Structure 1
């Protein structure tokens, strides 16, 4: 039998998901030997979009897309990938929910370009030149750039079969996901490929796992206010950890390093809007309502990775 064909595309991401795949190390070699990688752009192979477009529809067994959909080029290739791939996976939190780069939706494109190219201390641009989608050079060479759009999760553009969280996905979880993929042991379409447990459920700091209930937080703190204890529950100590509502496929790596979970694993099964559930979870852990006023920058905390796909993100008027 022929090997399953795999395609990978990096849209509006940072490349961290690609590195996470490479972090499979020796396991990557074993996986790669079982796959026929026909497209991996733009980071790994010098593949051309026209080569992907020329492939027969449905000829690729599995497609992975990382990064959110941020411009017209991303949108076009996402639609081509959907046509060519039998199974399409949103790989990483940017593709799955919009990601941290989805916070650009809090601003207009004009505001972002103005900030990046004009109103910064180190920018020398007296003529206020901004990137254009089309420009003619020397009167005959037309150069083009993709058109910027609001950031979107992949399923806001095309149908997605499966989701994998993480910023980036943890390499050990990627190995399990690829194993499930190659063996055909996948959950129902539309599901997250996950072990199904919250960060708190796999966190060594969780007092419940030590046989006692969690205590309510009597203060709200940031890590700049002082280091947490080495083994205490971060939420009990007042650090706003989103472990209760975040998938723990990472094995609670951030809390184990004294860093509160920020939700990059994506919502636990059954949660439709991560930000709303995170607000509810944190509110239930505070000793009194006055502490709510001490939560710094709630939008960037609760919607850091999920704004474009959230109830809030779909209703932002700018």
Structure 2
């Protein structure tokens, strides 16, 4: 009996999700015994043609990490969607847009102008930019087109499951692969992580006061953090109350606050707005001047509350020329 075939592909991301697969350590040998890796170009010598030769639905599952920004990524997402019975958004970038999604604060022209003309290390007096098509003596050369905005995977193709995290924790990867091989997956559309807030598994939960009242907001580099006490109680913004559990509170175990990479629970419509409103309710101030002073402790609100989720949020991106931009999921 032939093994089920799986594929892994990397779009707009840092590559940490690819390394997370290797973090299975010796357990990856069990995965290789149970499945046939039919496409994993970052690790093995596969080509696009190898996927194109597969019959539609021949892949049991395809794991795509990274957001969608270029025409090539759009093409590969559609190709793998056609070839895979199950498509999994693997990691924060494909799930919610991730850190690359913060590029949606700028329009396409601003990004290209800065990168190829205005950056301090660029010397380009002719203001030359890459072309998607150019004729040379050897023939036609092409490059992927740079799209107007960063999109999540499910804003591009239909997604069956989401495996969150930056990168996905090894425990969640292990559980997802086991559920896939045993045919014990939850209903389609599910996020393959516990649907409770991180505070539920936080080792500092017993030290969290029943009522928090914050008069100052501190950034981690500004203070010596008590490794035993609730970070919010110390005035350090921790997004654990607005973030899914499933990571084992890894950042908090390292004495750093949760930054929200696993995304919100199913009961939250917009993770950034949820975190913002939760924090606002904790401020112990009523005078406008005092509130402004406290909020000076958040120099980059978008980068804090939408670090991983701007493309998936209700905001999605900065609107240009007075237009409100709305992007819906395909499902």
- TM exceeding 0.5: yes
Aligned to 2:218, which of 221, 225, 230? 221
Matched, 1:309 2:312: yes
Deviation at 1:215, TM superposition (A): 2.4
How far apart are 1:227 and its partner, in Å? 2.5
Shift of 1:293: 5.1
Contact 1:283 1:292 in 2 (8 A): no
Give the 3-state SS of the residue equivalent to 1:88 in structure 2. strand
**Hey, what does 2:92 align to over in structure 1?**
93
User: What's the CA shift string for 1:4-23, capped at 9, x where partnerless?
Assistant: 11011111112110100001
**2:266 counterpart (264, 269, 279):** 269
Comparing 50-59 with 281-290, which one deviates more in the overlay? 281-290
Equivalent residue for 1:146, pick from 134, 139, 144: 144
Stretches of structure 1 lacking an aligned partner (at least 5 in a row): none
Work out the CA distance in 1 between the residues paired with 2:37 and 2:213: 50
Alpha-carbon distance in 1 for matches of 2:224, 2:129: 43
Partner of 1:14: 14
Structure 1 segment 248-267 matched on structure 2, within 5 A: 248-267=245-264
CA distance in 2: counterparts of 1:186 and 1:270, whole angstroms: 20
SS in 1 for 2:175: helix
Report the counterpart of residue 295 of structure 1 in structure 2: 298
**SS at the partner of 1:285?**
coil
Report the CA distance between 1:52 and its aligned residue.
Answer: 0.8
* CA deviation map 1:93-116 (0-9, x unaligned): 100010010111111122112222
| SS, match of residue 238 in structure 2 | coil
- Give the SS at the match of 2:213: coil
Q: CA deviation at 1:286?
A: 2.1
1:45 and 2:44 are equivalent in the alignment = yes
The alignment yields a C-alpha RMSD, in angstroms, of: 1.7
Task: For residues 170-194 of structure 1, give each alpha carbon's deviation from its aligned partner in whole angstroms, at most 9, with x where no partner exists.
Answer: 1122112211111122111001001
Secondary structure of the residue that 1:6 maps to in structure 2?
A: strand
Tell me the CA shift for residue 212 of structure 1. Answer: 5.3
Answer with 121-130 or 71-80: which moved more. Answer: 121-130
The residue aligned with 1:135 is: 134
1:213-266 deviation digits (Å, cap 9, x = unpaired): 252222111112223211111111111110011112111111121211111111
What are structure 2's unaligned runs of at least 5 residues? 322-331
Give the deviation of 1:314 after TM superposition: 5.3
- Write the distance in 1 (CA, Å) between the matches of 2:184 and 2:279: 35
Does residue 1:230 correspond to 2:219, yes or no? no
Secondary structure in 2 aligned to 1:3?
coil
In structure 2, the residue matched to 1:206 is 205
- 1:23 & 1:259 partners in 2: Cα distance? 22
TM-score by length of 1: 0.94
Q: Does 1:34 align with 2:34?
A: yes
The 1-side partners of 2:208 and 2:122 are apart by 57
Distance 1:179 1:250 in 2: 17
Question: Is 2:105–2:318's contact at 8 Å kept on the other side of the alignment?
Answer: no
SS of match in other structure, 2:173: helix
